[in-house]
Structure 1
Amino acid sequence: MWKTHYDVLIVGGGVAGCSLAYALSSSSPLASSSSRPAKPLRIAVLERSLAEPDRIVGELLQPGGVAALTSIGMASCLEGIGAVKVKGYCVVKAGENVHIPYPDGREGSAFHHGRFIQSLRAKAKEGEGVEMIEATVNELIECPFSGRVLGVEATRSISSEASEAEKEKAKEKESFFADIVVVADGCFSNFRTSVMGKGAIKPTVRSHFVGIVVKDAKLPYDNHGTVCLVKGNGPVLLYSIEEHDTRMLIDITAPLPSDLKEYIWSKIVPQLPPSLHTPIHNALQNDRLRRMPNSWLPAAPQGTSHTKEGVILLGDSWNMRHPLTGGGMTVAFNDVAILGRLLKEVAALGWSAEGRGGSEGGGLGDWENVKWALDKWWWERKGMAATINILSVALYDLFGAEDECLEVLRAGCFKYFERGGECVRGPVSLLSGIAPSPVLLFNHFFAVAFYSIWCMFTHPQPYTVAGSEKVLYKVPRLDQYPMLVIKSFQVFWTACIVFGPLLWTEVRW
């Protein structure tokens, strides 16, 4: 069945899909008046279910993400949903904690994911030219000659109160056509492989976040995310998402224990601050545990000979990082702000003699014009995306230390934060998306590595007395230095093999 032709079709009405729909509308402040299309773009968002989603991630937006959301014109989406201001972090290790505030009074936001999504959808509907359609996309429609994606086939959702005739009609696949199709269907994308072709990279799952809502929990610092480093397990993350609700996320590697609640209560909770024990016990008794894979998916260039024409991947369908740092939505909104501006410029200007190629007046319908935008987007997004992607996995490797050298780096990282000043301001500016600089990240990461080695020589180190389980601390003796020198090289090499491959995945293209 043929439908009205759209300028842009967006598959997925989540974080990336809704924000891009609004960013491309003439209601958004993106792009100057001279580079906006002469008439509003016609945009359709196809979402399988417009009911409020229920997820345990996508609940923390860093200050850099708030800034990107504001640039799109959607800052109001954080209002009226019970969102909590986030002013920084606290890292807890063995009963000690270090305060890591955001610099210059910057603030992030935390909230129930479903409420935020519904707010984004409501705002997207306000965008001029935006249509929200509840339908399940079944497949991409391709030109039989060129292979270019022309649109999608989808099945509309229908109310249970509909007549039998309406239900039968709804079962028919419906065709939607557009100049450009944007696939933003999340981490479990059905179209990632077909879009990327030979360039497709499969997501890597290293662990799962197990989540629960804790009522009336008292965290070490109000309005701060709390990262608890526990032995024998990945980090535990806690942050308020409403006045009385605190999200607790526990990183657990595969295979997952058969009895998760018992595992959390016996192995994890005893290592957390005592003030949290009773609220967590109540939550384990009254709430259900949910889990989400922590996936790592490096981005790959689009608009190349290996990818399909007429279609773009966006959000978690294309690029994922470990959610420990809460940077996913920050990257997504930054991507949308850049891509939305560039696509508006292409729609407004079409072809010019500035090296874009294509045919004059082609606009979004000419793939050469869109390729120009994709290439420019790829390089403009690099600073933010690379910084947050690398940092998320590097911190996870350090905080989830599983061997002796990583433990040295983890202890050194904690002591590095205790120094305060730039040792706190720099790392938290990177984590929060305020200072998106891979060079600054490199400097601080290896500053932590060298400081960890220094601490290994000069700070009291743990040891156990034979026949006793008691842990004591003592500064190393001079006769221990030769072995420590050897261990120093091992620690530095460990830092290199943690950071090096992550850096390579971001700069190799």
Structure 2
Amino acid sequence: MTGVADPQQAARNLERRQQHHEADVVVVGAGVFGCAIAFALANQGRSVILLERWMHEPDRIVGELLQPGGVDALKKLGLEGCLEGIDAVPCYGYHLLYRGEELSFLYPPRTSDGGVVVGAGSKKEANGYANGDSKKPARPEGRSFHHGRFIMQLRKACMGHPNISIFETEVTATIKGEHSDAVLGVETRTKDPETGKKTPDCFFGQLTVIADGYASIFRKELLGTAPVVRSKFYALELIDCPFPPSNHGHVVIGDQVLALLYQIGTHETRALIDVPPNHPAASPANGGVRGYIQNVVLPALPPPVQPSVHAALADGKIPKSMPNSWLPSQKQTRHDGVVLLGDAHNMRHPLTGGGMTVAFNDAVLLASLLDPRHVPSLADHAAVRAAMADFHWRRKSLTSIINVLAQALYSLFAADDWQLRALQRGCFRYFQRGWTDEPVAMLGGILRRPLTLAYHFFSVAFLAIWLNVLDVCGGSVVGILMLPVALVQALLILWKACVVFLPVLGTELR
């Protein structure tokens, strides 16, 4: 472990944290990002206070798939051990079930220049990479798991760090100085375990890092933004559910159906079912969400999976849900002494499972920019502002890809008009032709080339246009008379592709 001060300094820092509630850094929220940044800064010798409202194991239905790019970042943080002992399942790629047709593909091997091996081989050959064939480069590996178990491992790592003190307390407000607007720390309410009463408390740091999640109470104050919710994921936990190929994330696309399935343990598989707001098939008259799952989603699932879904619905309860939110990032240079990060700062649709990958890579980047060699004192607000300005742009080589992919693919996979359905088909046919290596590498957070994303997206659009022209014209001499109609439809499909892709990309360029 790095960054441990000499024994006397460590004792003084511990006393400051425990007795006076003072540290170099106060981190609000012991979730994915909060634990990661607390551990990273503590490794640099910073004295860190980590605050969490509730230290019990969380029970959430997202944050269960860590892409290979996230696994890489976890290793850089020194937290890779948190993936052990929680029955985490390796994930090597994706399996797509599109209106009865199936296609599977794996994360491609990486090259030394930050690219990936394109056309790395067949599925059979690819299994050799995953299984450790010494003659071929190893395939990247993601992990899926129970979210709560993983969080408890992260917290355990922070508890064991000599530079971190953790307090179970509810943060209610920031504290500002009398003569400036700089944030000095936070006000909290701490519950007395004996009486159950909550008493006021305060914690002070040179820098306050707030990572209080998707329902942040500080977002409006510090960013002035609010997430946009387009749908909800409803979750089922399937027991001993057979769904080959194993060690893949499964995406099921059908008529009005979008569902994700992936193992989160040896016997457990998570099913996330997208339900758009006010969908007629999910109305109370049609049985609500349960009726939607039973009547619309279940028939689109493979027959071997259906008994497990029936069993998961047998309790008669409405499945747990989570809003699918879109929140573009904002530059944070306006407020001295405080930054807001994690899901409180930036969210994307969880379809592609990129949230934790973004969080861990953000922690790696921010810790490098705040390294004591560059920013000796976190009380130097000008230096921190400069670091945050750099952070805003440098993170986009990864986050712009994951954010745009998540929003664009959701629009395609949850298609609700004929142009989007044309693009949806074009996407599947594109993958079917074997052009998957770079797209899946971007999904996995291992290829950081935004222009490559634009190339593949519009390649899908033009393939969709060509397939639609073939459908309209029919490939016959008479069909040539329909060419004007096909050309008009081509423009409409291209326009829809631009509407889906360019506005989201535009938010990433700000």
TM class, shorter-chain normalised? 0.7 to 0.9
Partner residue, 1:467? none
Structure 1 residues 409-420: aligned runs within 5 Å: 409-420=423-434
Partner residue, 1:393? 407
Partner residue, 2:314? 285
Supply the distance in 2 between the matched residues of 1:45 and 1:384 (Cα, whole angstroms).
27
Q: Secondary structure at the match of 1:410?
A: helix
Residue 296 of structure 1 aligns with an amino acid whose one-letter code is W
Deviation at 1:3, TM superposition (A): 2.7
Structure 1 residues 353-432: aligned runs within 5 Å: 363-420=377-434, 423-432=435-444
Partner residue, 1:128? 162
Question: Does the Cα contact within 8 Å between 1:2 and 1:175 map onto a contact in 2?
Answer: no
Question: Residue 250 of structure 1: which of 257, 273, 282 is its match?
Answer: 273
Supply the distance in 1 between the matched residues of 2:403 and 2:451 (Cα, whole angstroms).
14
Deviation at 1:4, TM superposition (A): 3.3
Partner residue, 1:97? 102
Partner residue, 1:358? none
Tell me if 1:42 matches 2:60: no
Question: Does the Cα contact within 8 Å between 1:60 and 1:109 map onto a contact in 2?
Answer: yes
Deviation at 1:475, TM superposition (A): 5.3
Q: Secondary structure at the match of 1:173?
A: strand
Partner residue, 1:486? 488
- Deviations along 1:444-490, one digit per CA (max 9) or x if unpaired, are 000000111112233x579xxxxxxxxxxx65732222211110010
Supply the distance in 1 between the matched residues of 2:383 and 2:99 (Cα, whole angstroms).
56
Partner residue, 2:37? 20
Structure 1 residues 18-417: aligned runs within 5 Å: 18-26=35-43, 36=44, 40-104=45-109, 105-159=139-193, 162=194, 164=195, 167-168=196-197, 171-196=198-223, 200-233=224-257, 235-255=258-278, 257-258=283-284, 259-286=288-315, 288=317, 289-303=319-333, 307-343=334-370, 345=371, 347-350=372-375, 363-417=377-431
Question: Does the Cα contact within 8 Å between 1:110 and 1:239 map onto a contact in 2?
Answer: yes
Question: Residue 455 of structure 2: which of 425, 435, 443 is its match?
Answer: 443
- Deviations along 1:10-53, one digit per CA (max 9) or x if unpaired, are 01010000011111112xxxxxxxxx5xxx31101110000000
Supply the distance in 1 between the matched residues of 2:448 and 2:411 (Cα, whole angstroms).
20
Q: Secondary structure at the match of 2:436?
A: helix
Supply the distance in 1 between the matched residues of 2:245 and 2:239 (Cα, whole angstroms).
16
Tell me if 1:454 matches 2:466: yes
- Runs of 5+ unmatched residues, structure 1: 27-35, 351-360, 463-473
Partner residue, 1:30? none
Question: Does the Cα contact within 8 Å between 1:15 and 1:120 map onto a contact in 2?
Answer: yes
Deviation at 1:202, TM superposition (A): 1.2
Identity of aligned residues (%): 42
Supply the distance in 2 between the matched residues of 1:499 and 1:53 (Cα, whole angstroms).
35
Question: Does the Cα contact within 8 Å between 1:394 and 1:499 map onto a contact in 2?
Answer: yes
Residue 456 of structure 2 aligns with an amino acid whose one-letter code is H
Partner residue, 2:114? none
Question: Does the Cα contact within 8 Å between 2:89 and 2:263 map onto a contact in 1?
Answer: yes
Deviation at 1:211, TM superposition (A): 0.5
Question: Does the Cα contact within 8 Å between 2:61 and 2:321 map onto a contact in 1?
Answer: yes
Supply the distance in 2 between the matched residues of 1:482 and 1:228 (Cα, whole angstroms).
34
Deviation at 1:375, TM superposition (A): 1.4
Deviation at 1:349, TM superposition (A): 4.5
Residue 407 of structure 1 aligns with an amino acid whose one-letter code is R
Question: Does the Cα contact within 8 Å between 1:411 and 1:452 map onto a contact in 2?
Answer: yes
My pick for the range that moved more, 108-117 or 135-144, is: 135-144
Supply the distance in 2 between the matched residues of 1:400 and 1:224 (Cα, whole angstroms).
21
Residue 273 of structure 1 aligns with an amino acid whose one-letter code is P
Q: Secondary structure at the match of 1:365?
A: coil
Return the TM-score normalized by structure 2: 0.86
Residue 233 of structure 2 aligns with an amino acid whose one-letter code is F
Deviation at 1:158, TM superposition (A): 3.6
Supply the distance in 2 between the matched residues of 1:475 and 1:74 (Cα, whole angstroms).
57
Q: Secondary structure at the match of 2:314?
A: helix
Tell me if 1:500 matches 2:502: yes
Question: Does the Cα contact within 8 Å between 1:2 and 1:174 map onto a contact in 2?
Answer: no
Supply the distance in 2 between the matched residues of 1:395 and 1:142 (Cα, whole angstroms).
42
Supply the distance in 2 between the matched residues of 1:461 and 1:81 (Cα, whole angstroms).
53
Q: Secondary structure at the match of 2:331?
A: coil
Residue 409 of structure 2 aligns with an amino acid whose one-letter code is L
Deviation at 1:127, TM superposition (A): 2.2
Supply the distance in 1 between the matched residues of 2:367 and 2:261 (Cα, whole angstroms).
33
Provide the alpha-carbon RMSD of the alignment: 1.7
- Runs of 5+ unmatched residues, structure 2: 1-17, 110-138
Q: Secondary structure at the match of 1:92?
A: strand
Question: Does the Cα contact within 8 Å between 1:24 and 1:341 map onto a contact in 2?
Answer: no
Return the TM-score normalized by structure 1: 0.87
Supply the distance in 1 between the matched residues of 2:260 and 2:91 (Cα, whole angstroms).
14
Q: Secondary structure at the match of 1:333?
A: helix
Deviation at 1:2, TM superposition (A): 8.7
My pick for the range that moved more, 264-273 or 178-187, is: 264-273
Supply the distance in 1 between the matched residues of 2:103 and 2:405 (Cα, whole angstroms).
19
Partner residue, 2:23? 6
Question: Does the Cα contact within 8 Å between 2:53 and 2:171 map onto a contact in 1?
Answer: yes
Q: Secondary structure at the match of 2:304?
A: helix
Q: Secondary structure at the match of 2:332?
A: coil
- Cα 1:349–1:504 change in 2 (3 A) is closer
Partner residue, 1:355? none
Partner residue, 2:3? none
- Cα 1:349–1:106 change in 2 (3 A) is closer
- Cα 1:349–1:498 change in 2 (3 A) is closer
Tell me if 1:434 matches 2:451: no
Supply the distance in 1 between the matched residues of 2:169 and 2:149 (Cα, whole angstroms).
21
Deviation at 1:261, TM superposition (A): 1.4
Supply the distance in 1 between the matched residues of 2:266 and 2:192 (Cα, whole angstroms).
36
Residue 350 of structure 2 aligns with an amino acid whose one-letter code is P
Residue 237 of structure 1 aligns with an amino acid whose one-letter code is L
Supply the distance in 2 between the matched residues of 1:173 and 1:119 (Cα, whole angstroms).
29
